[in-house]
Chains A and B, each alone.
Chain A
Amino acid sequence: MTATDVKQRTAEGVEPRGIARWFSGLNRDKLEQAVVGYLFVLPDLIGLIVFMVGPMLMALVISVTNWKLVGDPQFVALQNYEALFTDPKFGASLGRTFLYTLGFVPVIYTLSLGMAVLLTRKSRGNTFFRTVYFMPVAMSLVVAGVIWRFMFDPSNGLINVILSGLGLPTSQWTGHVQSAMVAVLIVSIWKGAGYFMIILLAGIQDIPSDYIEAAQIDGANRWQAFRHIIMPLLKPTSFFVLVVLTINALQAFDQIYVMTRGGPAYATYTTLMYIYEKAFREWNFGYAAAMSVALFAMIFVLTVVQVRYFRAGEVKA
């Protein structure tokens, strides 16, 4: 009863007054919504088209030319792509990119998850520990790379001093072909673990605690509760984290540039490093663009595979 009253009164209120009555045909509000809607979306839309979609299409165009800093670019069809297949440097850079990814994703995921689980325990100090683990988020990859390069100093760096103090073998770290990638990985993992810990922690906290309590009443221990309750329910978050980690790993640049410049002896020379040098050291835009498109295509396929794999796992579970 009162509801209808309100409705009628509101309907009266909507009735336009004065000159607006002239335009109060069916479409006045629709028109306003459309005008304001386009007005509000337009600046961002132009920005995205000019600075993202356009450049993406341009990358495809540039990749089929021999565009260099000087001279007019000419259409070369798929020559750049053909050259990629026989370029040992490209193949090796891809290998290192995937090696980096394989070293990065499982370790940082496990560490972040472990820290998230650790912090779900109801203990004093949780807030403090969370803040500390999360602190590297306040630091850029460049600064992280600089600090760790200092600590990894082969002769008297802090890490080697600690290692030898503990009676453990020391390493040349960024100074040696076999350890440089490990050093870069340690920095990347150190820098990112807290960030992904927060995402996973939020995911775990979204799981209703009744589920875990019910399992514990049924006699499940902490490990079983983790394995059979938390992990399956955390799957969407885990999946998201794994996809983002993979994408991040495949385009790692800052810390590598700062720590090793791709060296020593190309030991950390990833594809993005190669793209950067081809384009902005050798000024060979055509070839570099072809590499970037090829890398994008490979990552795209990889992501699709990941999604498929995840979906398949869902059906099974």
Chain B
Amino acid sequence: MSITERGTEMQSYYGRPIVKEPVWHPEVAAYFFTGGIAGTCSVLHGIGRVTRNEGLAKTALYVGAAADIASPILLVKDLGRPERFLNMLRVFKVTSPMSVGSWILFVSGGASTTAALLELTGRLRPVKWAAEVASFLTGPPLATYTGALVANTAIPVWSEARGELPWLFGASAAASGGAATTMFAPRRSAGPARRAAILGAVAELGLTVAMERRLGFVGEVYYEGEAGKYGRVAKACTAAGATLLAARGRRSRVAAAAGSALLLAGSAALRYSVFKAGFQSARDPRYVVEKQRERLREKTR
């Protein structure tokens, strides 16, 4: 039994959890990160091509393809039966963000890596163009669906943040994808990637604070344990990285690289913080019971 903030005694079954903690390993949080980079890079690459910024376009293409190759490896590794990974493409279910996401990743990852390979070898130009268009179109949903994936659960801190999570993951994707491209792009063509990174970082910080405030007592987990620790790391790194990129990123190659590294660390820490918050939220039955009791009180009122 635990005592709530309002001073009423909440009843529970020996304090045991009601919803189960996720069984996902940190690979899943790492995939949220790599998937975000891949999605943003697809867009940077596409617009870079159209605006004839070849330096930026090529860098984004290769960075994105690397992230797209890492993503399914991380996901397959997390499966309880990795040899059955192809079962993900057995059906298409709009009620399952993981099913929709598997198809998005399959198309987007396939298109990006195909385009990157054909770019390297300089062959089959029409196929490359088709792959580039497919990658461009599937990039943004690849970056945001992971927010819907965690929000579509019974975990209070994830479910209650369903308004913010796709936006937060999208913003974090812009920060990390922009940063990864800035890091490797020639200085004279990295401008759009750098500005996308700064814009994403500012949005990421704003959305994090907004989410934590709006969640109320359910958001307590963001101030405790690992979710709290990595949340603080995320905020510090993101703020420092964005400041450094905005102040010195244009002139100094070193500042651009350092600022980008900070933003990447910040985005990775944010995903891990959100990931861990779900575990912490599931562990305490208070969040499930109190939120639902609150809802029932509103219904009867």
Same complex for A and B? Answer no
Q: Which residues of A contact B (CB under 8 A)?
A: none
